[in-house]
Every structure is written in structure tokens, then in C-alpha cells.
């Protein structure tokens, strides 16, 4: 998968800009607040159907403007050129298009363009709350299996309906039973997909961390779910049904759903010790890099082609060995990297744009355009 062009209009701090990319390493350089991350955010929007900053769409519209527009041109490995666009308007639903076709369901949209993003925030993958890990898994799985997005949407909708019912005074137990049955089977599907994905992720990430650290480190994951050790849809559903029903009165008392796939998590261990509790900063960082590289590898295994790698300002905080490792590991893939100064990219920094206040102000390329 290869991005050839990004156009943004009234998006964040950019008025109207077009960027072209080549198939190797592309660098977006500029001072703090110049608008580098904003551009990666625009590219990644097409992979996720939302901002990786976890904000609302209307925040993407340039201050003082009524609407924003972004457009991406890319090609798949078969050389088919495709484009996607998104228009954001205040107080109106966004308009997403794949080619000329408007799409409204995420499942019809995800997977058309795939990318893996690395940001400094990603340490939260190891250190942060379970929701960070669930978000990571869900997004990665959705890109490779768009049908998973439909199941996830359905799970979230059912949870919202059940929570609304739980909050209403005087519990409607019959209605709650209907929701509970649906939650048990939707949770089973979501958990099973996540579990399978984590198992494959672990195996790839373990190879990366071992390579990155000269064989000194190993990475293991442990999937944690209220669905227990079950490995089939039916057994997971039955277990979920059991725990949800067992705690039905507690949920009514608390007014919130306490049991289901929305409580899943996975723990990361380095050399068999919890990375969260015992890992050094460096080990945690290596674990995150390994997990993200593994995400890219799995995306290639599952779909037959590599995604685009987006590296938001992560190189400046890596030591030279890790920096070299990651750049050499991504050789041959399309990579878009942001950073404050071009010097840190060394020999990789051939194809760069410099931006200032959201505007591309200079351009330097030794390589042919796509
Ligand atoms: N909706 C918006 N309209 C106009 N400007 C915005 C909007 N949202 C964010 N900005 C501006 O964009 C700038 C930040 O852009 P961005 O995060 O891309 O910077 P950056 O180049 O990545 O900086 P850093 O190197 O610090 O990460 C800020 O100055 C912010 O005020
Ligand atoms: Mg930034």
C-alpha cells in the first residue's frame, strides 16, 4: 500500500496544501506546532475512520472555518490507484467517500487503506489503562477484518442501550435479559477475535524484540478476559452468559454493565516479568516498538500487503541503536516520519518537506515521485 498524495483544506492549521509522497521514507519536518502531526492525522484518518487523537471530527476544522476536507490518493500492491475523501462540516455528519461512493458504515470503509501509526503516546500501550490496549487491538483488527468493525459497533451499541436501561429507575428485567443474551454472544465474538490476534501479535513481537535487543529480551502476552480460558465461540458465549447473569443484580445496583468484552485486556511481559510493573523505560519502549512493528507484519500477513507506516516524532526519543533498528526494519516499506530537525534522519532523510504554520515552505527530494 502506497500513498501518493494528500490534500488538506481548512484541516487543523492548514489552509490548503498538497503533499506528494514517494514509496520509501518521507519526512515532514518543522518546528513545534508547525502542523506536522496534523498531516499524519489526516493520512491516518483514512485508515481508522477517526482521528488517532481521539477527538471529535469538528475539532479538525480550522478555527473560524465552516468545513474541512481531506483527500488521499494511494495505490495497492496490484498497482490499482484509489482515492478516499472526507468532508467535515460543523453540526453535520461527515461525508466519507471511497472513490466516488459515499460510505456510512465503518465496516464498508475500513481496510480500504491501511496504516500503522507510532506516536510517543504509545507507551500507554504498556503503561496505561486497559482501554488503550483495547483501542489498539480493535483498530488493528478492524483494518484487516472489516467485518470485525461491524461486530464491535454492535457490541458498543448494545452496551450503550443496556447502560441506558440500567440507569433508568425501576429495572426492566425482561429487557435486561434480552440485552444480556445479546451481549454474551457479541462479547464472545469480539473476545475470540482479539485473543487470536494477540496470540499472533505476540509471536511476531517476540521476534522483533529479540532482534532489537540482541536476543536478550523476550516478549510474552497474557490475554485477560471474563470469558475465561475458553477458545471457542460457544464456550466463550456460555461463560459470558454465566458471569453476566450471576452479576445481574450487582449491575442493576451499580447502574452500569460490569461484564463483557468491554473489560478485556492483555498484559505484556518482558523476560517473563510484567513490563508495566517491572520494565525499565527502555524495555517498555522496546516492547511498544515491537508490538507496533508486529502490527505491521500481521497486517501484511493477513491482507497480503504492507500498510503505510506513520512515525510521529518518535525517533528523537530513541537511542541510536533502536532508531537504526526501526529504520532498517522499515526499509523497503513506505514510511512517513515527522520530526523537528532533519539531521536526525541521517541517510534516510532524502525526501523531506519543511512546514511552518501549516504551510509547506520547502521541498527537497532526490527520489522520483510515485
Ligand atoms: N482546528 C484547528 N484550527 C487551527 N489550528 C489548529 C486546529 N487544531 C490544532 N491547531 C493548531 O495546530 C498546531 C499543532 O499542530 P501539530 O500538532 O501538527 O504540531 P506539530 O508540528 O506536530 O508540533 P510538535 O512538534 O510540537 O509535535 C497548534 O498550533 C494548534 O493550535
Ligand atoms: Mg507533533
CA separation, residue 318 to residues 29, 38, 152, 285, 332 (Å) = 17, 22, 35, 8, 21
Q: Residue 54 has what pLDDT? A: 86
Q: Which ligand is nearest to the CA of 312?
A: 2
Cα 18 to its chain centre, rounded Å, is 24
- The 3-state secondary structure of 277-343, one letter per residue: HHCCHHHHHHHHHHHHHHHHHHHHHHHCCCCEEEEECCHHHCCHHHHHHHHHHCCCCCEEEEECCHH
Residue 288 has pLDDT above 60, yes or no: yes
Ligand 1 centroid to residue 228 C-alpha, Å: 44
In this predicted structure, what is the pLDDT of residue 106? 83
CA of 29 to the centre of ligand 2 (A): 10
Per-residue confidence band for 315, with pLDDT thresholds at 50, 70 and 90: confident
pLDDT for res 11:
98
* Ligand lying closest to the C-alpha of residue 29: 1
Q: Where in the chain is the domain with CATH 3.40.50.300?
A: 1-114+308-370
User: Which pLDDT value is given to residue 362?
Assistant: 80
Q: What is the pLDDT of residues 6-39, one digit of tens each?
A: 999 999 999 999 999 999 999 999 999 999 999 9
Q: What is the pLDDT of residue 210?
A: 95
Q: Whose CA is nearest to atom 18 of ligand 1?
A: 35
What residue owns the CA closest to ligand 1's atom 2? 12
**Confidence at 368, pLDDT banded by 50, 70, 90:** very low
DSSP secondary structure string for all residues of 195-210: HHHHHHHHHHHHHHHH
Q: Of the ranges 104-118, 127-141, 200-214, 256-270, which one carries the lowest mean pLDDT score?
A: 104-118
Q: Which CATH superfamily is domain 123-306 in?
A: RecF/RecN/SMC, N-terminal domain (1.20.1050.90)
Residue 156 pLDDT exceeds 90: yes
DSSP class of residue 99?
Answer: T
Burial of 355 (0-12, 13-18, 19+ CB in 10 A): buried
Question: Which letter does DSSP use for residue 341 in this model?
Answer: -
Q: Which CATH fold topology does 1-114+308-370 show?
A: Rossmann fold (3.40.50)
**195-223: pLDDT as tens digits:** 999 999 999 999 999 999 999 999 999 99
User: What's the CA gap between 266 and 275, in Å, rounded?
Assistant: 11
Top pLDDT among 369 and 11 is at 11
Average the pLDDT over each of 39-43, 66-70, 211-215 and give the range with the smallest value.
211-215
Confidence band (pLDDT; 50, 70, 90) for 3?
very high
64 lines ligand 1 (CB under 6 A): no
Stretch 102-109: mean pLDDT: 88
The pLDDT of residue 281 is above 50: yes
367 pLDDT exceeds 50?
no
| 276 pLDDT above the threshold of 90 | yes
Gap from CA of 60 to ligand 1 centroid (Å): 10
Which grid cell is 35?
502542523
Residue 293 grid cell: 512493528
What is the average per-residue pLDDT within 64-74? Answer: 98
Q: Is the pLDDT of residue 131 over 60?
A: yes
Burial 24-54 (b: 16+ CB within 10 A, else e): bbbbbbbeeebbbbbbbbbbbbbbbbbbbee
- Residue 292 has a pLDDT of 96
Determine the residue of 32, 37, 358 to mutate for testing ligand 1's pocket, defined as the one with the most ligand atoms within 8 A of the Cβ atom.
Answer: 37
pLDDT band of residue 369 (cuts 50, 70, 90) is very low
Residue ranges of the chain that CATH labels 1.20.1050.90: 123-306
How far is the C-alpha of 97 from the C-alpha of 228, rounded, in Å? 40
Q: Which atom of ligand 1 is nearest to the CA of 39?
A: 18
**68 CB burial (10 A radius; 0-12, 13-18, 19+):** buried
Give the pLDDT confidence score for residue 344 in this predicted structure: 63
To test ligand 1's pocket by mutation, which of 14, 38, 55 has the most ligand atoms within 8 angstroms of CB? 38
Instruction: Compute the distance between CA of residue 363 and CA of residue 161 in angstroms, rounded to an integer.
Output: 51
CA of 357 to the centre of ligand 1 (A): 8
- 19 CA to middle of ligand 2, Å? 17
Distance from residue 33's CA to the centre of ligand 1 (Å): 5
Taking CA atoms only, the protein residue closest to ligand 1 atom 29 is 33
Q: Which of 31, 33, 61, 341 to mutate to test the pocket of ligand 1 (most atoms within 8 A of CB)?
A: 33
35 Cβ inside 6 Å of ligand 1: yes
How far away, in angstroms, is 313 Cα from ligand 2 center?
6
CA nearest ligand 1 atom 7, residue: 12
- pLDDT at position 114 over 90: yes
**Ligand 1 site-directed mutation target among 13, 19, 63, most atoms within 8 Å of CB:** 13
Average pLDDT over residues 327-339: 93
Name the closest ligand to CA 64: 1
pLDDT of residue 105 exceeding 90, the answer is no
Amino acid at each position: 500500500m502506497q500513498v501518493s498524495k494528500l490534500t488538506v483544506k481548512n484541516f487543523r492549521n492548514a489552509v490548503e496544501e498538497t503533499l506528494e509522497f514517494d514509496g520509501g521514507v518521507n519526512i515532514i519536518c518543522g518546528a513545534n506546532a508547525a502542523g506536522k502531526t496534523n498531516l499524519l492525522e489526516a493520512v491516518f484518518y483514512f485508515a481508522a475512520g477517526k482521528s488517532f487523537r481521539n477527538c471529535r471530527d469538528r475539532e479538525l476544522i480550522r478555527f473560524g472555518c465552516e468545513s474541512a476536507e481531506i483527500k488521499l490518493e494511494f495505490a495497492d500492491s496490484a498497482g490499482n490507484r484509489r482515492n478516499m475523501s472526507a468532508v467535515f462540516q460543523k453540526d453535520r455528519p461527515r461525508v466519507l467517500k471511497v472513490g466516488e461512493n459515499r460510505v456510512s458504515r465503518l465496516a464498508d470503509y475500513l481496510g480500504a487503506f491501511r496504516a500503522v501509526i507510532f506516536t510517543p503516546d504509545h507507551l500507554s500501550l504498556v503503561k496505561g489503562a486497559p482501554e488503550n490496549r483495547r483501542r489498539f487491538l480493535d483498530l488493528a483488527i478492524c483494518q484487516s477484518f472489516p467485518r470485525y468493525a461491524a461486530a464491535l459497533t454492535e457490541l458498543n451499541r448494545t452496551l450503550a442501550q443496556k447502560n441506558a436501561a440500567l440507569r433508568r429507575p425501576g429495572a426492566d428485567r425482561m429487557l435486561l435479559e434480552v440485552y444480556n443474551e445479546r451481549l454474551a454472544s457479541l462479547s464472545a465474538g469480539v473476545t475470540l477475535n482479539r485473543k487470536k490476534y494477540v496470540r499472533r501479535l505476540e509471536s511476531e513481537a517476540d521476534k522483533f524484540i529479540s532482534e532489537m535487543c540482541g536476543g536478550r529480551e523476550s516478549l510474552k502476552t497474557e490475554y485477560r478476559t471474563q470469558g475465561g480460558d475458553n477458545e471457542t465461540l460457544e464456550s466463550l458465549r456460555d461463560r459470558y452468559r454465566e458471569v453476566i447473569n450471576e452479576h445481574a443484580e450487582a449491575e442493576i445496583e451499580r447502574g452500569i454493565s460490569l461484564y463483557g468484552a468491554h473489560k478485556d485486556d492483555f498484559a505484556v511481559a518482558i523476560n517473563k516479568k510484567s513490563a508495566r510493573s517491572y520494565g525499565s523505560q527502555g524495555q517498555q519502549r522496546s516492547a511498544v516498538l515491537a508490538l507496533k512493528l508486529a502490527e505491521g507484519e500481521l497486517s501484511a500477513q493477513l491482507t497480503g500487503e504492507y500498510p503505510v507506516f506513520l512515525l510521529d516524532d518518535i525517533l528523537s526519543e530513541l537511542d541510536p541503536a533502536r532508531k537504526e533498528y526501526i529504520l532498517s526494519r522499515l526499509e523497503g516499506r513506505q514510511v512517513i516520519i515527522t520530526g523537528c530537525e532533519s539531521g536526525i534522519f541521517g541517510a534516510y532523510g532524502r525526501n523531506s518537506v519543511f512546514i511552518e504554520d501549516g504551510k509547506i515552505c520547502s521541498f527537497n527530494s532526490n527520489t522520483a515521485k510515485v
